[in-house]
């Protein structure tokens, strides 16, 4: 392509749009369903129940250590399906581009989407592109929807969490959130801060294959972090969640950056972690299964569901005290001193 930036013409539906589709999108995302370029994708009938989800991605910066907005969109939607026990089947890709956006950067993002889709074995089967005038958008926004299928014997919901169940976190907290925030702040921290973005459907598949009845709830703690997600589970289950402060896994470099900015890892977004609520009898087995996967190598049991008190989350602290963990209110903002 000779053009270097996105023009309003690229969203016109005319020749420039067609060229963008054939020279960029089909070049990297090609598959028989997408290639047909029909108004909608026809999917062959699958066994089980349908799961359907959608999410929009407006992250800034669009490229960050460990990923980019495209990879995030693919993983985020796959994970939303996986958290209901669904096997992801396919994705849609809606792009809103700002006039003047670099075509090179767009290609980098599409290549990243292609790589993420191939690695996860979940194709993009339909898409759309719009271009908005310069100043009316912010480089690129992505919407992805996803369809998956849930086997008939699987029923995952935060309402299914039971008293005595264990809370397993599949890895360290806050890696994605702090990477983005330190980038936004222009702060460089010693160590290797990078986003944890990754698809979790294979980990979930293994877990549910071995323990279809004992995994009661799955949630990915994205925006609002582990604190907000656990509060939702407590609210939906009507139970109290008791966490052990010392069990909460945080990488040293993430903890250091949080100290610097006055943030708590519990409230930071994660893009490649899940919380699994598992029956107490099978919690250790679930942990072993997770440890046997690259996605869950650092998984730990962080707490227990109890019927004591109201629907809330508390932490048992190293001094033998307790404190309440509230859900996030507003965006996390850095402190003044």
Partner 1 sequence: MKYLDEYRDSSLARPLVEALKTSVTKPLRIMEVCGSHTMAIFRNGIRSILPRGMELISGPGCPVCVTSSAHMDAFISMADEPGVRLAIFGDLFRVPGSNGSLAEASSRGAKVNIVYSPMDGLEIARKNPDEHVVFLGVGFETTTPTIAATILAAKNQQITNFTVFSTQKTMLPPMRALLDDPNLKIDGLICPGHVSSIIGSSVWEPLADEYGLACVVGGFETADLLKSLILLARQVGEGRPRVENVYPRAVSPEGNLRARQMVEEIFEPADMEWRGLGILPGSGLKIRDKYCEFDAESRFDIRLQAVEEPKGCKCGEILKGICSPRECPLFDSRCTPANPIGPCMVSSEGTCAAYYKYGRE
Q: Where along the sequence are the contacts to partner 1 (CB under 8 A)?
A: 185-187, 245-246, 252, 255-256, 259, 261-262, 264, 315-324, 326, 329-330, 333-337
Least spacing, CB of residue 144 vs partner 1, in Å? 27
Least spacing, CB of residue 241 vs partner 1, in Å? 15
Of residues 262 and 292, the one with the C-beta less far from partner 1: 262
Of residues 231 and 270, the one with the C-beta less far from partner 1: 231
Q: What is the CB neighbour count within 10 angstroms for residue 267? A: 24
Q: What is the rounded distance in angstroms from the CA atom of residue 120 to the CA atom of residue 118?
A: 5
Least spacing, CB of residue 29 vs partner 1, in Å? 37
Q: What is the rounded distance in angstroms from the CA atom of residue 188 to the CA atom of residue 182?
A: 7
Q: What is the rounded distance in angstroms from the CA atom of residue 108 to the CA atom of residue 79?
A: 22
Least spacing, CB of residue 100 vs partner 1, in Å? 19
Single out the residue of 216, 219, 215 nearest to residue 160, CA to CA.
216
Least spacing, CB of residue 179 vs partner 1, in Å? 15
Q: Which residue(s) pair with 23 in the sheet?
A: none
50 and 147 Cβ atoms separated by less than 8 Å: yes
Of residues 47 and 330, the one with the C-beta less far from partner 1: 330
Number of residues that this document lists for the chain: 337
Q: Which residue(s) pair with 132 in the sheet?
A: 98
Of residues 42 and 337, the one with the C-beta less far from partner 1: 337
209 exposure class (CB count in 10 Å sphere: 0-12, 13-18, 19+): exposed
The single residue listed with the structure tokens 């936004």 is 184
Distances in Å between the Cα of 282 and the Cα atoms of 204, 207, 213, 303 are: 15, 11, 10, 14
Q: What is the rounded distance in angstroms from the CA atom of residue 52 to the CA atom of residue 208?
A: 19
Of residues 43 and 261, the one with the C-beta less far from partner 1: 261
Of residues 149 and 267, the one with the C-beta less far from partner 1: 267
Least spacing, CB of residue 333 vs partner 1, in Å? 3
Least spacing, CB of residue 332 vs partner 1, in Å? 8
| Pairing state between β 313-316 and 240-244 | parallel
Least spacing, CB of residue 266 vs partner 1, in Å? 10
Of residues 236 and 316, the one with the C-beta less far from partner 1: 316
Of residues 107 and 138, the one with the C-beta less far from partner 1: 138
Edge-to-edge strand order for the sheet containing 300-306? 215-219, 275-278, 166-169, 300-306, 240-244, 313-316, 322-325
| DSSP assignment of 279-327 | -GGGHHHHHHHHHTSSTTTT-EEEEEEESSSSS-EEEE-TTS-EEEEPP
């Amino acid at each position: 392509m000779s053009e270097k930036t996105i023009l309003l013409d690229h969203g016109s539906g005319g020749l420039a749009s067609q060229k963008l589709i054939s020279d960029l999108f089909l070049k990297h995302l090609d598959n028989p369903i997408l290639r047909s370029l029909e108004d909608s994708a026809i999917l062959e009938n699958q066994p089980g129940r349908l799961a359907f989800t959608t999410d929009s991605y407006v992250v800034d910066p669009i490229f960050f250590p460990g990923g980019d907005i495209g990879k995030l969109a693919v993983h985020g939607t796959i994970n939303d399906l996986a958290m209901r026990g669904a096997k992801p089947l396919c994705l849609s890709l809606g792009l809103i581009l700002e006039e003047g956006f670099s075509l090179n950067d767009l290609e980098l993002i599409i290549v990243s989407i292609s790589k993420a889709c191939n690695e996860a074995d979940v194709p993009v089967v339909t898409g759309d592109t719009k271009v908005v005038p310069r100043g009316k958008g912010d480089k690129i926004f992505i919407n992805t929807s996803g369809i998956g299928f849930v086997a008939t014997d699987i029923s995952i919901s935060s309402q299914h969490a039971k008293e005595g169940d264990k809370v397993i976190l599949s890895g360290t907290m806050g890696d994605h959130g702090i990477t983005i925030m330190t980038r936004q702040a222009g702060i460089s921290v010693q160590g290797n801060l990078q986003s944890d973005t990754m698809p979790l459907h294979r980990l979930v598949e293994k877990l549910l294959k071995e323990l279809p009845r004992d995994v009661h709830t799955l949630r990915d703690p994205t925006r609002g972090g582990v604190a907000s997600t656990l509060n939702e589970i407590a609210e939906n289950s009507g139970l109290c969640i008791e966490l052990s402060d010392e069990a909460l896994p945080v990488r040293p470099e993430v903890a250091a950056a949080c100290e610097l900015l006055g943030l708590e890892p519990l409230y930071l977004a994660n893009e490649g972690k899940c919380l699994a609520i598992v029956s107490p009898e099978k919690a250790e087995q679930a942990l072993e299964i997770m440890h046997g996967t690259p996605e869950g190598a650092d998984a730990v049991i962080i707490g227990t569901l109890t019927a004591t008190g109201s629907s809330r989350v508390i932490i048992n602290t190293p001094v033998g005290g307790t404190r309440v963990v509230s859900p996030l209110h507003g965006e996390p903002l850095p402190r003044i001193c």
